[in-house]
Amino acid sequence: MNGYQQEGRSQDTHSKVIGYLLWILGFTGAHRFYYGKPVTGTIWFFTLGLLGIGWLIDLFLIPAMDREADLRFHAGPVDYNIAWVLLTFLGVFGVHRMYQGKWISGVIYLLTGGLFLFGVLYDFWTLNTQVSLTNAQRRF
């Protein structure tokens, strides 16, 4: 099932596989950011997944977080999974921004180490919304 589907059908914007891969690093909150939960993602980051307890509980909550994300965000030509993998592993180089067509800010990130890491942190908080808006704009 691809993420860009007809009206009236459920859209698959996020992947449980990517969610579980990020969960492995979950004590950093990566999977929570991925599913559009930046506040708890930040809490997980600073508390190491609520001292591992919240991280372990999330093993069972990922399917529900995946369903919620699929309902909240717009599917379209920009794939959330690709954008998140690029942000997670190449964020300081701005590749995730270039992937979305944001070439100027992508080059700025490339030259400034992700705008001195603050830009990368901002993108962890807002990437789902950025991709959703880009996909919504490209529909029309």
pLDDT averaged over consecutive 10-residue blocks of the chain (140 residues)? 48 95 86 96 93 94 97 95 95 97 97 94 96 88
Q: Which 3 state secondary structure label does DSSP give 77?
A: coil
Note the pLDDT of residue 10: 61
pLDDT of residue 138: 83
**pLDDT at residue 6 in the model:** 45
Contact 83, 100 (CB under 8 A): yes
CB of 94 within 8 A of CB of 105? Answer: yes
DSSP H helical segments within 52-117, as ranges?
A: 53-72, 80-90, 95-99, 103-116
- In the block, which residue shows the tokens 């880009």? 134
pLDDT of residue 26: 65
| Cβ 110 vs Cβ 93: under 8 Å | yes
Burial 17-53 (b: 16+ CB within 10 A, else e): ebbbbbbeebbbbbbbbbbbbbebbbebbeeebbeee
Task: Please report how the helices 53-72 and 16-24 are oriented relative to each other, as an axis angle in degrees rounded to 10.
Answer: 150
Q: Hey, where are the domains in the chain? A: 16-139
